[in-house]
Chains A and B, each alone.
Chain A
Amino acid sequence: MHFWNHPWPWYIAGPLLGLTVPLLLLIGNKPFGASAIFRHLCAIVIQKKEWKYFKYDWSKESWNFYFIGGIVLGGAIAATLIPNLGELKLHPYLVDLYHGLGINDFSQGVPKQIFNMEGLRNVEGIVFVLAGGFMVGFGSRYAGGDNSGHMILGVARLNKPSIITTACFFVGGYIGAHYIVPFILKVV
């Protein structure tokens, strides 16, 4: 397997991800974060005057659109030019857990048996994609930032709201992974 088709170890991926923070600051004092884009997109579309949340000058944050566009492009570049090939190394406990629940396609990083367009007609698809996506949007905005903004930038800043929010992310994720994911997979 070609060198570039191996996944990167944490000590390469992590620091590179962390570098995004100073890069954005140096370019224009911009805080790293990917959930504000939803607020901007809603603000562009929604013109109701009662919804104060969307009444602000989103054009001041045009950098966000370029940045997010770059993320999508980066995902495309990585997936086309240097994808991670080969079987995903997963902890045996989880391999057994998912085999028992009927998932055995681990070839991609994401279990294709759940995440595909046809799956949206099943309960699994509805919960994971629709409810999950909704929660990511609602929760990140309610918390004031997402897991890049609060977790990486905020914690690095020793920002108290961010530390609390990050802890809560992990509480939520723990609950989700331990109870909700297996429950949904078992029930369906």
Chain B
Amino acid sequence: MGKSESDIEIRSLSRSFSLPDDPHPWSTALMYVLVGVLVGIVMVKGQIISWLKVQEMFMLKSMQLPLTFGSAILVAFISIVIIQQRKIKTLEGKDIYFPRYKVTKGNYIGGVIAGVGWSLTGGGPAALFAMSGTGAVVMGVALLMAMVGTWMFGAVRDSLP
């Protein structure tokens, strides 16, 4: 395997992952859908998907979105601390654990590229999905391009730093 795993979103690839995931009963699948619905609604109502608000943030003219993200990070941080301190388990009784990842050059380069993309489209992938949901069909095209981007990345990955 050429590169060590840096994809923080795919747990089944993480080295410390040993338990296979059971196929989801429909109740669990529904819960994932509901959390997604929450994300979608919050992104629309919180103007996180607003291209204009995103420009405001990157032009340093408004603290609204930074405060939104900052408070999200804070809430996430506190909840993770609580989960770790009380050793809370998942609904299925499995452990909640957090793999550690190493810094890669991709973090730097990919981060800047994705940042530019964010300023151009008005959102990261989650926001693009929410925008498509609101009916902005053109954002579906942006999503297709993101797929192309992923595909290209997969193709050229070994020749990148």
Binding site for B on A (CB under 8 A): 7-8, 10-39, 41-42, 46, 51-54, 56-57, 60-64, 66-79, 82-84, 88, 90-91, 93-94, 106, 109-111, 115-117, 119-120, 125, 127-162, 164-178, 180-181
Contacts and interface: CB of A to CB of B under 8 A. Distances in A.
A138 B126 contact: no
A125 to B, nearest CB: 8
Which of B32, B58, B101 gathers most chain A CB within 10 Å? B32
Contacts of A131: 117, 120, 145
30 contacts: A13-B42, A15-B71, A16-B46, A21-B76, A23-B38, A28-B21, A31-B11, A38-B149, A52-B157, A62-B24, A66-B32, A66-B33, A70-B33, A71-B37, A76-B133, A78-B43, A109-B53, A110-B49, A110-B50, A110-B51, A110-B131, A117-B137, A133-B121, A135-B117, A136-B123, A139-B115, A139-B117, A139-B149, A144-B9, A168-B112
A22 B122 contact: no
Which of A125, A127, A167 gathers most chain B CB within 10 Å? A167
Interface string B4-31: 0011111111000000110110001111
B46 A56 contact: no
- Interface of B, secondary structure class, is helix
A121 to B, nearest CB: 12
A133 B77 contact: no
Interface in B109-138: 109-126, 128-138
B129 A34 contact: yes
Contacts of B42: 8, 13, 16-17, 74
Contacts of B114: 135-136, 138-140, 142-143, 146-147, 168-169, 172
Contact of B58 (A26, A32, A174): A174
Contacts of B145: 129-134, 136-137
A172 B119 contact: yes
A146 to B, nearest CB: 5
A151 B73 contact: yes
B124 A109 contact: no
